[in-house]
Amino acid sequence: MSPAQLFRGRVLDAADHWRIDLPDPGRPTSIPCELHSAYERGPFKTCTGCSRDLADGCLYQIQKVVRGKETVFEMAICQGCGMRLYEEFSEESLEALKSFFLENFKPSPECSNCHFCGFPRPLAKTYTIVGICQKALLIMPPLVLCDRCSESLQARISKKTRDVQDNFIRSTFPGVPADLDVLTSLGGLM
């Protein structure tokens, strides 16, 4: 089974809660520089949550939050860590995530605009970019979420789930600014 097929079966299907049909993700490509680690100045090598070696073939998610040209947050989490986090989400939050995607997600292989509202990425003050990878390959086009959509998604998520995300982020990344919205909820993408 190719990584793309493997991925397609799993899209938003963690814990079998729900699934969204995405267009054919196309062929895997090498991971673009914008999804490299700004801190390590190169591709991510280990899982930010559990230090697992990302070269071992697991699926992993890269997430970066970029403000202007500066990376203000970055992480690469393996599927195991993504699932553990996702399992702690409340039912309402899973439903909220699902409806947010169903109502707003506009898949496109281009990532010059927000994939939810279409706002041009270069004009967004802050945006989140997410890539699903395996070894040194990006297995579907990156997903871009502008700051407004990120806020509207967070606003739909229950307090309990936001606390779970927050604890994960604060314990894994002690230096993260308190006002930074990090959507570990996108962990559901794996």
Which residues bind to Zn ion, rule: CB under 5 A? 47, 49-50, 52, 78, 81, 114, 116-117, 119, 146, 149
- Looking at the Cβ atoms of 27 and 102, the one nearer to Zn ion is 102
**DSSP character at residue 31:** P
* Residue found by looking up tokens 């996108």 in the block: 186
Tell me how far, at minimum, the Cβ of 25 lies from Zn ion, in Å.
Answer: 21
Tell me how far, at minimum, the Cβ of 93 lies from Zn ion, in Å.
Answer: 20
Q: What three-state secondary structure class fits 132? A: strand
Tell me how far, at minimum, the Cβ of 148 lies from Zn ion, in Å.
Answer: 5
- Looking at the Cβ atoms of 43 and 49, the one nearer to Zn ion is 49
Tell me how far, at minimum, the Cβ of 98 lies from Zn ion, in Å.
Answer: 18
Residue pair 70/85 in contact by the 8 Å Cβ criterion: no
State the virtual CA torsion across 97, 139, 19, 91 in degrees, nearest 10: -40
Residue 36 makes CB contacts below 8 A (sequence gap 6+) with: 42, 43, 44
- Looking at the Cβ atoms of 80 and 176, the one nearer to Zn ion is 80
- Looking at the Cβ atoms of 47 and 62, the one nearer to Zn ion is 47
d(CA 20, CA 105): 10
